[in-house]
Amino acid sequence: MVEKAGGSGASVPSGDVQALKNGVPSQPTLSDIDLSKLKVTLAKELKDIPKPDDLVFGETMSDHMLVLEYTPEAGWSAPEIKPYGPLSLDPSASCFHYCTNIFEGMKAYLGPDGTPRLFRPELNMARLLNSSERVALPRFSPTALLELIKKLIAIDARWIPREPGCSLYIRPTMIGTLPSLAVMASTRATIFVILSPAGKMFKVPAGISLLAINDHVRAWPGGTGAHKLGLNYTPGFKPQRAALEKGYQQILWVLGDNITEAGGMNVAIVLKRPDGDMDIVTPPLDGTILPGITRASVLELLAAHGNETSLPYLSNKTRLHTHERVVTMSELERTWQDGTLLEAFSFGTAVVVTPIARIGWKGKDIELPPYAGNHLGPVARALLERLVDIQEGRVEWKGWSVPCET
C-alpha cells in the first residue's frame, strides 16, 4: 500500500499507483469471472413476501444478492451469492464523487410450468458492458455474469409474483470503488445484483399523463443518453417533482422541438394513413435515447405482423409501417388537431407497454383518443399482450424467453 499525499490517512492500493501517476489507466488484462469459484451462503431466516397489491416499486428486496469485486492485482474475485445486506465502501470511492455508477433493469417471470424466465437477457448484458466502457470501468464477461444472475434467480425464485402483470425486478449494478479523489477512471469496481418483487407500475387502461418540457433536458447530442448510467437520472428528479405537483405522472423530454423519451421510457406514436394502414413512429437512436430492449422487441414484432406472426386485435390486412425518425411536438400537435394521431404509448422494462392519455405542452393538454373508455388502443394493446405472453412463456418467439434452471 502507498500512502496518499496530504496526510488524510487514506491509502491507494499498490496496483493503482501507476494508474494514478499516468492519469489514464490501461485496460485490465487480468482474470475474468470464474464461475467455478462461486460461493453460495444462504440466509438463515427468510423474509415474508408482501402481497402484490402492497408492493411499492423498488422498496422490497429479496433474501439474497450477488456480489463480486475487481482489483488490478487479482482481476475479478470469486463471485458470491449471500444474504441481502449493506456493502462496505471507502468514503473516497469513485462512485461517490464522480458518478462511476451503471446499472441494468431486467425482469424474471414464472412460466406456465413454474420455471423462472428472463426476457432477452443477453441484450441487457451487452448494454451493461457497453455502459461500463463508456465510463471506463473494468471489463467483464457478460456471459458469465448472466449465468450468475440465473443462479441468483433460481435461489430466490419464490419471490417471483404469480399474479398477471407482476414480476421480479432485477437490478445488476456496477460501481467504481477506487479509493481516491483523483479525477480519473476507476481501476477498481464492484458488481452487485439485487432483486425486488414488482407489481403493476401504472393502471394501463387509464393511460399515463406526461408534462412535455424543453427547458430541462435528460440527454444531449454527444452526451451519455444512450447508456444506462446513474448520472442520467438524477437531473430529472427536480422537473419530475414539478410535474407531479402539476398533476402529471411523468416528464416527456423534448430537445428543442424533438421528442426523445417519456421519463425513463421510450415512446412512439401511431398515425393513420390515407390508405387505412398505420405508421408507428419512434425517435431514432441518435445518442440521446437509450436503446431499450423493449423498444427493439416492439419494432421487431410490428415488422413481423402479417408476415411472420399475427398480432392480436389487428387485422393481417392492416400494414404496420415502422419508422425510426425525428418526432416533434409540432407534428404531435398537428396530427392531434387533424385527427390522424391514433395512439401514443411508452414502453420499457418496468412498464412493458403503457398508453399515454394526455400530454401537457405550453399550458394546454393534448388529449389522446380514448378507446372504449380507456386509452389502450389496438396497437399498444396488441404489443402489451404479445410481449407479456412471450415473457411469461405462453408464446414461444425467437428464443426471447430464456428459462433459468432451478
Output the pLDDT for position 180. Answer: 97
Instruction: Kindly indicate the confidence band of residue 406, based on its pLDDT and cuts at 50, 70 and 90.
Output: low
Q: How far apart are CA 98 and CA 296, in angstroms?
A: 31
pLDDT tens per residue, range 35-65: 999 999 999 999 999 988 888 888 999 999 9
Provide mean pLDDT across the span 393-397. 95
Q: Which domains does the chain have, with CATH numbers?
A: 2-198 (3.30.470.10), 204-403 (3.20.10.10)
pLDDT tens per residue, range 246-266: 999 999 999 999 999 999 999
- 3-state DSSP call for residue 316? coil
pTM of the entire predicted model: 0.90
Strand 101-103 relative to strand 106-110: parallel, antiparallel, unpaired? unpaired
The b-or-e profile of 195-218 (16+ CB within 10 A means b, else e) is bbbbbbbeebbebbbbbbbbeebb
Q: In this structure, which amino acid lies at residue 332?
A: L
- 3-state DSSP call for residue 359? strand
Output the pLDDT for position 18. Answer: 52
pLDDT tens per residue, range 68-122: 999 999 999 999 999 999 999 999 999 999 999 999 999 999 999 999 999 999 9
Output the pLDDT for position 28. Answer: 43
| Res 9 pLDDT > 60 | no
Provide mean pLDDT across the span 153-169. 92
